[in-house]
């Protein structure tokens, strides 16, 4: 028995709405913007998530415990590749550049590193040299850089906080010397409003909670949007 015309019309509307709802999560690969998230545990998603480098091929744990997840929820057309490794210093992060960034040929690389250097007693100028080398290699490869500040950890000593603030001031001033580098204050995004040298929420006192990673993503997202809209890398 044929359906009434009204029923057919309603079915068409339902199918159309279903298609629209699915569309943001099915962006063709050819239309996606590749972004590499390069860094240490606060990029990897520790302690709730292990990155695809740490647990090949796709990572393991609660995927919400990484800022890359929240960025792709906001922008399904972004392919944000988590290349964080728990415990790494900036010298180790820099050594992975060609494999984890250059080979992907992203539009932007987000770089957050330095907390493990400070924790292990490394000098501020060493952290700055390693980060500068990453920024320069990205520029040479035609890749834009979004540099994030070192985020706090609750057990940091006053001296460790002093050195983190010194590195962060250097990072935030970087665009004055390098127009290819944009910055985002990821430390401020996850810091407690009552004590900016502590995390607003943390399961272990060292790393952000899921909500903390979401807050990181919110701060990073607007900076990424502006950077993607900007012109090509200046060589």
Q: What's the pLDDT tens digit per position in 52-108?
A: 999 999 999 999 999 999 999 999 999 999 999 999 999 999 999 999 999 999 999
Window from 15-19, 40-44, 51-55 with minimum mean pLDDT: 15-19
* CATH code for the domain in which residue 178 is found: 3.40.50.1110
Do residues 161 and 197 touch, judged by C-beta distance below 8 A?
Answer: yes
- Which H/E stretch holds residue 143? none
In a domain, 130, yes or no: yes
Residue of higher predicted confidence among 232 and 206: 206
Domain span holding position 193: 29-229
CA distance 175 to 69: 27
In a domain, 193, yes or no: yes
Number of domains in the chain: 1
Residue 16: pLDDT above 70? no
* pLDDT value of residue 8: 39
In a domain, 14, yes or no: no
In a domain, 54, yes or no: yes
In a domain, 2, yes or no: no
CA distance 216 to 214: 5
Quote the strand ranges of the chain, DSSP E: 33-39, 49-50, 60-61, 78-84, 108-112, 144-148, 181-184
Cα–Cα nearest to 234, from 171, 148, 140? 140
In a domain, 7, yes or no: no
In a domain, 12, yes or no: no
In a domain, 1, yes or no: no
**CA 38 from chain center: how many Å?**
7
Q: What percent of the chain has pLDDT over 70?
A: 87
């Amino acid at each position: 028995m044929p359906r009434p015309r009204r029923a057919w019309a309603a079915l068409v509307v339902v199918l159309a709405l279903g298609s629209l709802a699915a569309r943001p999560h099915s962006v063709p690969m050819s239309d996606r913007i590749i972004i590499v998230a390069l860094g240490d545990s606060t990029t990897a998603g520790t302690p709730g998530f292990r990155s695809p480098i740490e647990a090949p091929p796709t990572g393991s744990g609660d995927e919400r415990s990484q800022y890359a997840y929240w960025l792709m929820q906001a922008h399904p057309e972004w392919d944000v590749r988590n290349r964080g490794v728990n415990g790494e210093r900036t010298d180790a992060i820099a050594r992975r550049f060609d494999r984890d960034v250059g080979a992907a040929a992203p539009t932007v690389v987000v770089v957050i590193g330095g907390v493990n250097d400070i924790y292990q007693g490394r000098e501020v100028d060493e952290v700055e040299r390693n980060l500068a080398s990453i920024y320069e290699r990205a520029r040479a490869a035609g890749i834009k850089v979004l540099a994030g500040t070192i985020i706090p950890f609750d057990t940091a000593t006053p001296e460790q906080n002093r050195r983190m603030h010194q590195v962060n001031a250097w990072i935030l001033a970087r665009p004055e010397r390098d127009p290819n580098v944009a910055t985002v204050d990821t430390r401020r995004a996850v810091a407690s409003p009552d004590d900016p040298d502590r995390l607003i929420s943390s399961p272990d006192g060292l790393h952000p909670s899921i909500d903390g990673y979401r807050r990181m993503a919110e701060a990073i997202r607007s900076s990424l949007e502006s950077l993607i809209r900007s012109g090509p890398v200046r060589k």
